[in-house]
């Protein structure tokens, strides 16, 4: 067994999946491609793209014909977003190979092999294995696209049919934003020349569950999943990319408490470069990730609110004004798309009200 840090050539044979966690980067996709293995890529991995990407991986990992049959996992980066991946990496009947670049070693099953680099031995890929995953994956794709307008209904000479079609279209335009539509809009607006940062909250989990593949640089503070310093992190990423001459815009998507926790990072000292940064806040009035904790079903609602939800009524637009940021509040998909895709070049806060 090579000591941690040595390169490892992976023999073909065992039924293998590649898991990409935070900071994995595009190498994970390259490895999956080279091995002909299914790719499970968390939304913060920077590897959620390519033809071998598996959609709805949490459900597929739980299946007897897929997840249970895994014999080997190659992990890149630091996975944190699902208990299914944690369970997989904890299995003692699965060989786990972890490529880490700094940070704490990963060894949930007490027999994980840490390596500095991985490559694949020559040979033929196991097409049946990959095929089974990709076929199951197709059924897991989440369609968040807007329903196409009904041209026949709109052009109909029948008044009732026309009224129905117009109403359907207006409803679609006015449909209030929810978390799925919010993460979808941010993902659609972001391109390979941009950068995307996720705060720790419900939104990153929703994004992980519903978004498809796209080659976009993604960052997140997933070490201990802190909500602190998210705006500062995004500012650093924006400024570093600008200093390197990169085009595009940096976007950070975070919850209202994570935003308030780092409100000091909105301050731009007079002589500093202005970041091209969109801060998108999903505002549900407190920390709603805790509503899914087990204690939420037994504790008194008022106690839960005080200790976990920690409600607030801070007016974000006043903070924006105080710190010299552009500010927009948007509540429909059309308005959000417009706000996201017309960056004004400087510092922009986009508030999206969400229901609890």
Ligand X SMILES: Cc1ncc(C[n+]2csc(CCOP(=O)(O)OP(=O)(O)O)c2C)c(N)n1
Please give the residue ranges that form the binding site for Mg ion (CB under 5 A): 255-256, 284
CB of 272 to Mg ion, least distance (A): 29
CA distance 349 to 40: 32
CB of 186 to Mg ion, least distance (A): 16
CB of 122 to ligand X, least distance (A): 45
Structure tokens at 165: 């079609």
Query: Which residues are registered as beta bridge partners of 332?
Result: 176
Q: How many residues does the chain have?
A: 356
47 binds ligand X (CB under 6 A): no
Structure tokens at 353: 């009200």
Structure tokens at 356: 């609890």
The entry of Mg ion, ligand X, none near residue 289 (CB within 5 to 8 angstroms by kind) is: ligand X
256 binds ligand X (CB under 6 A): yes
Smaller CB distance to ligand X: residue 95 or 284?
284
Report yes or no: 29 and 42 within 8 Å, Cβ to Cβ.
no
Rounded CA Rg of the chain: 22
The entry of Mg ion, ligand X, none near residue 41 (CB within 5 to 8 angstroms by kind) is: none
- Ranges within 146-165 binding ligand X (CB under 6 A): none
Sole binder of ligand X in the list 15, 78, 202, 219 (CB under 6 A):
202
Q: Which of 106, 25, 122 is nearest to 73 (CA)?
A: 106
CB of 180 to ligand X, least distance (A): 13
Backbone angles phi, psi at 278, to 5 degrees: -105, 120
CB of 232 to ligand X, least distance (A): 12
Report yes or no: 87 and 110 within 8 Å, Cβ to Cβ.
no
Smaller CB distance to Mg ion: residue 48 or 251?
251
DSSP E strand stretches across 124-263 = 195-198, 218-220, 250-255
CB of 238 to ligand X, least distance (A): 20
288 binds ligand X (CB under 6 A): yes
CA distance 13 to 272: 55
The entry of ligand X, Mg ion, none near residue 227 (CB within 5 to 8 angstroms by kind) is: ligand X
Smaller CB distance to Mg ion: residue 116 or 353?
353
The residues of the shown chain that bind ligand X, judged by CB under 6 A, are 200-203, 225-228, 254-258, 284, 287-289
């Amino acid at each position: 067994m090579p000591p941690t840090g040595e390169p490892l050539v992976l023999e073909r044979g065992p039924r293998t999946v590649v898991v990409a966690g935070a900071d994995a980067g595009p190498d994970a996709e390259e490895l999956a491609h080279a091995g002909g293995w299914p790719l499970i890529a968390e939304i913060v991995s920077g590897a959620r793209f390519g033809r071998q990407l598996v959609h709805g991986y949490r459900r597929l990992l739980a299946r007897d014909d897929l997840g249970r049959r895994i014999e080997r996992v190659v992990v890149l980066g630091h996975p944190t977003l699902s208990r299914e991946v944690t369970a997989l990496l904890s299995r003692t009947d699965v060989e786990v190979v972890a490529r880490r670049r700094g940070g704490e070693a990963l060894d949930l099953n007490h027999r994980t092999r840490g390596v500095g680099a991985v490559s694949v031995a020559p040979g033929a890929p196991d097409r049946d294995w990959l095929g089974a995953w990709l076929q199951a994956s197709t059924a897991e794709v989440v369609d968040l696209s807007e329903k196409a307008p009904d041209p026949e209904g709109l052009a109909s000479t029948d008044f009732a049919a026309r009224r129905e079609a117009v109403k359907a279209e207006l409803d679609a335009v006015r449909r209030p934003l929810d978390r799925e539509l919010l993460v979808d809009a941010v993902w659609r607006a972001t391109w390979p020349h941009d950068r995307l940062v996720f705060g720790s909250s419900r939104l990153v989990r929703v994004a992980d569950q519903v978004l498809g593949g796209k080659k976009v640089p993604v960052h997140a503070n997933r070490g201990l999943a802190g909500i602190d310093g998210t705006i500062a992190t995004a500012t650093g990423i924006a400024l570093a990319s600008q200093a390197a001459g990169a085009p595009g815009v940096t976007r950070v998507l975070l919850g209202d408490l994570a935003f308030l926790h780092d409100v000091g990072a909105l301050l731009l000292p007079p002589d500093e470069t202005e970041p091209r940064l969109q801060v998108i806040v999903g505002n549900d009035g407190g920390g709603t990730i805790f509503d899914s904790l087990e204690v939420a079903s037994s504790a008194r609602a008022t106690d839960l609110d005080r200790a976990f939800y920690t409600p607030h009524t801070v007016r974000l637009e006043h903070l924006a004004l105080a710190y010299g940021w552009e500010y927009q509040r948007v509540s429909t998909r059309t308005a959000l798309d417009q706000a996201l895709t017309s960056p004004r070049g400087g510092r922009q806060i986009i508030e999206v009200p969400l229901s609890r």
